[in-house]
Structure 1
Amino acid sequence: MRPIIINGRFLLHRTTGVERYAREIIAELDKAIPAGSITMAVPPEIENVPVYQNIKVIKTGKFKNRLWEHISFPWYVHKQKGISLNLCNVAPLPSPGIVCIHDVKIKATPQYFSKKFRLWYEILFGNATKRAKKIITVSEFSKSEIVKYFKVDPDNITVIPNAWQHYERIGYDESALSTYGLEKNNYYFSMCSLEPNKNFKWIAEEARKNADMTFAVAGSINRNVFSEGLGFELPPNMKLLGFVSDEEAKTLMRDCSAFLFPTFYEGFGIPPLEAISAGAKQVVVSDTQVMHEIFGDGVIYVDPSNYNIELSDFPEISETRISELLKKYSWKKSAETLLKLLQNIDQGLDK
C-alpha cells in the first residue's frame, strides 16, 4: 500500500471554510482507519500539533510555509513513496497527488481578485487539474465549474461535501450580544470572509433602507488579495465585527432576526448550514444554482442583484424541512467517501 500523506500546512491558518473542511474530515477519517496507515506531515513552525488516535503526525523539512508546501512536503512524500492528500485548494507543484479544489472563483469571478493572486492560483489549479491522481470538490456545481474552466474528465472528480456537526461541540457565549452592542431579535447577521463575491453591498443597501435595524457582519478582508476592498461606504447601522469566536458566532446566529448570505459565487457555503444548526430563525441565501443544490427548500432565496428586497416579507421554513436538510450532510459520511476513494486509488481502481 502506498502511504497517504496529508498536507498539514492548513494548521498555520485561522480556521475558516477550507480549514474547517480539512480539520473535520481528517478527525472523522482518523476514527475509521488502522493505526499508522495515514500520516500527516506539518511544517516545522507548527506549535499546536494535533493528536490523533490512528493518524501519525510528523514535523518535517527545513523550509516554512509556502516553500515547505512546494519543496519540503513533496520531498518527504517522494522519500516515503507516498501520495499526497491536499484538502485546502493548494497542492505541491511537483506532485499534486489528491487535491480538493473547493471552488474556481478565480476563473468565474476574476474581477474580484488582484492580478498576482489570480495568476498564482491559475498556476496551482492548472497544475493540479492536469497532474493530480484525483480531484475532490464539495458540490456538483463546483465539479461542473472545474470541468468547464479546466477541461477535466468528470470521472476524475469526486464530490465530498461539507457538513455542520462541528457546531454540536460548540457552546453559546451569552455575553456575545453585549460585547458587540446588539439586541436579541433586532439585528441581521452575516458571517464569512469579506470577499467582494460575498456581495456585502447587498447587505449595505438593505441596511440603508432599514435604519431601525442593525446589520452585523463578522469576518475580515485581505486587501492584498482582493483588488478593491469592500467597494462601498458603510451605512451607520452596519457593523463590521471582525473575527468572532466560534461560540460568539453560534450565539449571534441563534439570536439574529435572520442570517444573510447573499453571495454571488460559492463552491458550497458552510455559514448558512452552521446558522441553521445553531438555531437561526431564518436563513436567507442567494437564488443561485449551488445554493439550491445545497439547501433545497430549507432556506429562503433572494436575488443577489436585487437591492429592493423587503426583509419583513420572508416566509417561515418548517422544522421538518430544516431537519431534512441537516440530515443530508455529515462529516462522518464525507470521511467515509474519502476513505473509499483512498482505498480505490491504492487498489489501482482509479488512475
Structure 2
Amino acid sequence: MKKLIINGRFLTQRVTGVQRFALEFVKALDKLIEMDDISLKLQFVIMAPRDIITDIKLNYIEVIPVGKLKGHLWEQLELPFYSRGGLLVNLCNTGPLLKGKQIVTIHDAAVYSKPEGFTKMFVYWYKFLFRALSIIAHKIVTVSEFSKRELAHYCCIKPNKIRVVSEGWQHIQQIDADLDVFQKHNISPKQYILAVSSLNPNKNFQGIVKAIECLGDVETNIIIAGGTNPKVFSSSNGSLPNNVKYIGYVTDEELKALYEGAMGFIYPSFYEGFGLPPLEAMACGCPVIVSNAASLPEVCGDAALYVNPYSPEDIAEKIKLLLSDNKLRDELRRKGLERAKMFSWEKCAHETLKVIEEVLAK
C-alpha cells in the first residue's frame, strides 16, 4: 500500500485563508475515503509538529505529531526525515527543500507582484522557496487560472506542471449563524453593507474608506469586520464617520449571521489568488461587489457588481446602485447562489486526488 503524508504544519497556525483551505480539504478527503475504496490503495496520515492548536476530528486519516522542532525548522529539517518513503502533500504555500517526492499547493504569487504587502524578509524567503519548490516538486497545485498564469510567469514553471483546484464554501453552510452579533454590536439587519478583511494593503480598505467619503448623505451603515486596526479607517478628524462601524474580529458563526443580514458585501481587493469571502457571501445569499482584478472575475462570474479598485468614486457608485435597486439585489442574490454551486470542497478533494494518483503512478 502506498503511503501519503499530508504536511500538518497548518494545525499549529491561526486559521486564515490557506489554513482554511487545508482544513476543509482534509475533511473532504476524509469523507471521500469513506465513500470510495481509496483506503484500499493508499494510506493517509497527517504529520504535524507537537504544538498543535487546531483539533481536527477525522475518521480515516490519522494525525501523528512528530519531531521536536517548530515552524519552518520542523518543516525543513524534520519533516523530510519522517516523511521518507511516501508522497508528501503540502497545502499551505510551503514545503521542505530536502524532500523530492512531493506536491505543493501555492495559492498565489503576491510576493512577486504585490511585495509591498509583506516584510522584506518574508518576500526574500518566499521568492526563494517558491522558485526552489517549483523545481523540486513533482506537481504544483494552485487555486485559480489567474494564479496559474502568475506562477508560470514569475517562477518559470511550465503550465503543464501546474494544476488548478478551486476552493469551496460548504464550511460556512455547516455552522449555525450567531444572531447575537447584531445585539452585541448594535447592528440592524438589512440596513448595512458588510466589508471583511485584514490590514494587508492588497485588500484595499483605504479604497472603501475613500468611497465612504464619496457616498455623501446616502443612508446606510458600513460594517467593517476583521483583525484590523480601527485607526486605518479614521477620517481626517481622527474618528470614524457616524455611518461606519468597526467591530474587529468575529467568529465564523458571527460572520455567517453578518453575511445573511447584509444588504451587500464589498470586497475591492487589488490582488487575490482566489477570493474566498465573496464566495462565502454568495453562498449565504448576500449580493457582492468585488474588484475587476486578479482572480475575482473568475470566481464570481456574472454574479457580482464589479468596480475599479483604484477608483473610490466607482466603488461609491456601485454601492449606491446596489442600495437603490431592489430588483438588482434580488438578481445578484439569485445568481450568487447559483454561481456558488460550481464550487465545493468535495470537488477540491476529488481534483487534488487525481493529481496525487498521477504522481504516484510515475
* TM-score of the pair, normalised by structure 1: 0.90
Task: Tell me the equivalent position of 1:218.
Answer: 225
Task: Tell me the equivalent position of 1:5.
Answer: 5
**Can you list the C-alpha shifts for 1:312-340, whole angstroms capped at 9, x where unaligned?**
21333355522330121011111111111
Task: Tell me the equivalent position of 2:19.
Answer: 19
**Secondary structure of the structure 1 residue equivalent to 2:338:** helix
Q: Distance in 1 between matches of 2:245 and 2:320?
A: 20
Q: Distance in 2 between matches of 1:125 and 1:270?
A: 22
**Secondary structure of the structure 1 residue equivalent to 2:83:** helix
- Verify the 8 A CA contact 2:214 2:312 in the aligned structure 1: no
The number of residues matched between the two structures is 339
For 1:68, the aligned partner's letter is W
Q: How does 1:89-100 map to 2 (within 5 A)?
A: 89-95=93-99, 97-100=102-105
**Secondary structure of the structure 1 residue equivalent to 2:290:** strand
Task: Tell me the equivalent position of 2:325.
Answer: none
**Secondary structure of the structure 2 residue equivalent to 1:158:** strand
**Secondary structure of the structure 2 residue equivalent to 1:250:** helix
Q: Distance in 1 between matches of 2:344 and 2:16?
A: 18
**Secondary structure of the structure 1 residue equivalent to 2:312:** coil
What are structure 2's unaligned runs of at least 5 residues? 323-327
**Secondary structure of the structure 2 residue equivalent to 1:66:** helix
**Secondary structure of the structure 2 residue equivalent to 1:37:** strand
The CA deviation at 1:162 is 0.6
User: Where has structure 1 moved over 6 Å in runs of 4 or more?
Assistant: none
1:346 is aligned to 2:346: no
**Can you list the C-alpha shifts for 1:190-223, whole angstroms capped at 9, x where unaligned?**
113331100001111122234643322222259x
The CA deviation at 1:12 is 1.6
For 2:344, the aligned partner's letter is S
Q: Distance in 1 between matches of 2:341 and 2:303?
A: 11
Task: Tell me the equivalent position of 2:246.
Answer: 240
Task: Tell me the equivalent position of 2:177.
Answer: 172
Give the root-mean-square deviation of aligned CA atoms. Answer: 2.1
1:275 is aligned to 2:281: yes
**Secondary structure of the structure 2 residue equivalent to 1:106:** helix
- Verify the 8 A CA contact 2:282 2:288 in the aligned structure 1: yes
- Of 239, 253, 262 in structure 2, the residue corresponding to residue 256 of structure 1 is 262
**Can you list the C-alpha shifts for 1:32-71, whole angstroms capped at 9, x where unaligned?**
2344711100111215542322112111001122221111
Task: Tell me the equivalent position of 1:156.
Answer: 161
Q: Distance in 1 between matches of 2:244 and 2:67?
A: 46
* TM-score of the pair, normalised by structure 2: 0.88
Q: Distance in 2 between matches of 1:232 and 1:197?
A: 19
**Secondary structure of the structure 2 residue equivalent to 1:294:** helix
Q: For residues 243 and 327 of structure 1, do their structure 2 counterparts lie closer, same or farther at Cα, with a shift above 3 Å needed?
A: same
Q: Distance in 2 between matches of 1:141 and 1:285?
A: 16
Q: How does 1:1-351 map to 2 (within 5 A)?
A: 2-33=2-33, 34-35=38-39, 37-78=43-84, 81-95=85-99, 97-210=102-215, 212-221=219-228, 230=232, 235-236=240-241, 237-280=243-286, 282-308=287-313, 309-310=316-317, 311-314=319-322, 315-316=328-329, 317-318=331-332, 320-348=334-362
Q: Distance in 2 between matches of 1:221 and 1:70?
A: 31
Q: Distance in 2 between matches of 1:85 and 1:205?
A: 42
- Verify the 8 A CA contact 2:285 2:336 in the aligned structure 1: no
Task: Tell me the equivalent position of 1:225.
Answer: none
Q: Distance in 1 between matches of 2:93 and 2:80?
A: 16
**Can you list the C-alpha shifts for 1:131-168, whole angstroms capped at 9, x where unaligned?**
11110000001000000101101001010001111111
Q: Percent identity?
A: 37
- Verify the 8 A CA contact 2:197 2:226 in the aligned structure 1: yes
- Verify the 8 A CA contact 1:41 1:60 in the aligned structure 2: yes
For 2:321, the aligned partner's letter is D
- Verify the 8 A CA contact 1:268 1:290 in the aligned structure 2: yes
For 2:17, the aligned partner's letter is G
**Can you list the C-alpha shifts for 1:169-193, whole angstroms capped at 9, x where unaligned?**
1111111112123222222211133
The CA deviation at 1:113 is 2.0
